Amino acid sequence: MKAAPFEYYPAHSLEHGLQLLKEYGDDVKLIAGGQSLVPMMAMRLAKPGHLVDIHRLSELQDLQVVDGFLRTGATVKQCTLEFSPKAQHIPLFGIALPWIGHQQTRNRGTVGGSLAHADPSAELPLIATILGANIHFQSIDQGKRHCLANELFLGPMWTNIDPQECLTHIDWPIWSGTNIGFAFEETSIRQGDFAMASAATQLQLDAQQKVIRMTFGLGGMGGTPYSFNDLSQSMIGHLLNNDAIDALAEQAVKGTEPASDLHASAPYRRNLAKTLLKRTMQQAVAMALTSTPPSSS
C-alpha cells in the first residue's frame, strides 16, 4: 500500500515546528527518523494530513553532560548513541542499541522518536524506564514541561505526549563511582526483530559485595516497559547471590502481563523473561566485582 496524501513541511526551527503543530491540530504528526511512522503511513495505520519534519533541527541535537545527566536531544540518531564516546556515560546504550532493528534503521531512527513511538518491546523505552530518565517537552500553549519515563508510557504506542507537543530532549542519569555492573539480554525471532522479551539490570556493590543501588526491568512483557523499584530497593545492603537473584526474577515476572501471540504463549514469555533477567543480574554482579570507574571525558 501507499501512504494517504499529505503535505510535508520541513521545520526551520523548533518554534516553527511547534506553530505548525498548533495550526494543524489533530491532523498533523512530527516526523523524525521516519523508521516507525513511514511504515505505519504506508500501511495506512496512520493518515496524518500534514507532516512536520524535525530531523534537521540543530536545537534538538544536543549530546552533552549536564549536572550528572547525559542530555540527548530528541533527534540524536540511535547510531550516534551507539558509537559516540559521550554516550559511554550510559554504558547500557553500548550493549542495548545494537538490538534495535538494523544498522540502516539506527542510522535514521532517533532517540526521541523511539520514546514517542512507545513500542513496549523497544529497547530505549526500557532503558529510560529503569534509569529514571527525565523527558522534556515543549508546546506553544503549555510551554515547557518534563516527566519521568515511567510516567510517559501509558500503553502500547500510547504516551502522555499532547498532540501539540514536541519531545525536545532526554536527561539520562549518569552513575558514577566504582563497582558498577550492567547487562542487557534480549530474545527475538530474527536478528533485527522486536524483542519477544528483553531484560536490563544496572547495579553498584560496596566493598563487602553488598548492593548499594540497583535497578532492573523487563521489555515486551506487557503494554509498557516494567521497572521493579520496590524489589530493587529491598536488595540494598544485601548480597545479590544466586538465591536472591532467583527470588527477584520470580517476583518480577509475576507482576507482568505478557501477551500470547503467534510467536509465543504468555507462560513461555514469562519463563523466557525470568531466564533473561537472571542472566542480566548474574552478569551485572560479575562485572561490578571487577569494574573500574568510567572515564569522565
Ligand X SMILES: Cc1cc2nc3c(=O)[nH]c(=O)nc-3n(C[C@H](O)[C@H](O)[C@H](O)COP(=O)(O)OP(=O)(O)OC[C@H]3O[C@@H](n4cnc5c(N)ncnc54)[C@H](O)[C@@H]3O)c2cc1C
Please, what is the minimum distance in Å from the beta carbon of residue 285 to ligand X? 27
Residue 117 and residue 157 in contact, taking contact as beta carbons nearer than 8 Å: yes
Encoded one letter per residue, x for contact with ligand X by CB under 6 A and - for no contact, window 196-235 reads ----------------------------------------
Helix %, strand %, coil % of the chain (to 5): 40, 25, 35
Region binding ligand X by CB under 6 A among candidate stretches 83-91, 101-109, 234-242, 259-267: 101-109
Gap between the Cα atoms of 124 and 136, Å rounded: 16
Decide if residue 110 touches ligand X (CB under 6 A): yes
Number of Cβ atoms within 10 Å of the Cβ of 134: 18
Pull the grid cell for residue 153. Answer: 508510557
Encoded one letter per residue, x for contact with ligand X by CB under 6 A and - for no contact, window 152-181 reads ---------x----xx--------------
Please, what is the minimum distance in Å from the beta carbon of residue 292 to ligand X? 30
| Residues within window 16-75 making contact with ligand X, judged by CB under 6 A | 29-37, 39, 54, 74
Gap between the Cα atoms of 125 and 107, Å rounded: 18
DSSP 56: T
Please, what is the minimum distance in Å from the beta carbon of residue 173 to ligand X? 20
Gap between the Cα atoms of 121 and 195, Å rounded: 5
Complex with ligand X: residue 45 or 236, whichever CB lies closer: 45
Complex with ligand X: residue 36 or 227, whichever CB lies closer: 36
Beta partners for residue 167, in sequence order: 137
Angle subtended by helix axes 242-254 and 266-290, to nearest 10: 140
**Among residues 91, 98, 109, 220, which is the contact residue for ligand X, using CB under 6 A?**
109
Complex with ligand X: residue 18 or 288, whichever CB lies closer: 18
Please, what is the minimum distance in Å from the beta carbon of residue 195 to ligand X? 7
Residue 275 and residue 250 in contact, taking contact as beta carbons nearer than 8 Å: no
Residue 251 and residue 288 in contact, taking contact as beta carbons nearer than 8 Å: no
Give the largest CA-CA distance in the chain: 63
Please, what is the minimum distance in Å from the beta carbon of residue 41 to ligand X? 9
Gap between the Cα atoms of 114 and 124, Å rounded: 7
Closest CA to 285 of 179, 147, 132, 141: 179
**Among residues 192, 222, 223, 294, which is the contact residue for ligand X, using CB under 6 A?**
192
**Among residues 122, 149, 197, 199, which is the contact residue for ligand X, using CB under 6 A?**
122
Complex with ligand X: residue 96 or 214, whichever CB lies closer: 96
Decide if residue 116 touches ligand X (CB under 6 A): yes
The dihedral over CA atoms of 108, 99, 288, 64, expressed in degrees to the nearest 10, equals 10
Complex with ligand X: residue 23 or 231, whichever CB lies closer: 23
Q: Which residues make up the interface to ligand X (CB under 6 A)?
A: 29-37, 39, 54, 74, 100-101, 105, 109-110, 112-114, 116-117, 119, 122-123, 161, 166-167, 192, 194
